[in-house]
Amino acid sequence: MNRTVVHLVLAFSAFTSAHAEDLPDLAQFAQSICGDIPEGNLTRTSIQGKIEAEAGLLAKIITGDANVSGSKTTEIYKGIPFDKLPDNIPTVSMCKLEVVKLMQAAKNQTSQNNGNTINSTGNNNNNTIGNDNSASQ
């Protein structure tokens, strides 16, 4: 089963801008979130709660900086698109894949906010704390 997760993460990373050096950290973080929730209880709410409890570690992984401020951690957490998660996830493996997707979305959002660009949907409706500057396409 772990091979399946690794393959899914690798396949997913081929379609995203994740750097290869991020994968072990992303996979380990996803395991720490999903591995502690019993199958059958893998819900959006339970995953969101676990990620919130580990927001500091998530911010370090997303930014690559060991010294992330509390306000930056909050900004990153608020930028996670939890609404993209299914209400119920049947297996730990699927949970890990969904958590990696969320982390990649948060990383992309953080990069875009730092670069004063619009969000990935192509509109200017960012729901994160950060720059008030808007960018044109």
Q: What pTM value is reported for the model?
A: 0.66
- Which pLDDT score is estimated for 115? 60
Could you report the per-residue pLDDT of 32-70, keeping only the tens digit for each? 999 999 988 999 999 999 999 999 999 999 888 889 999
DSSP run (H or E) holding 115: none
Name residue, tokens 């950060």. 130
Question: Could you tell me where the DSSP H helices lie in the chain?
Answer: 2-14, 23-34, 44-53, 55-63, 70-78, 92-114
Q: Where are the domains of the chain?
A: 2-12+22-114
Task: Report the range of poorest mean pLDDT among 24-38, 42-56, 93-107, 116-130.
Answer: 116-130
Q: What is the pLDDT at residue 111?
A: 75
Rounded to whole angstroms, how far apart are CA atoms 82 and 80?
6
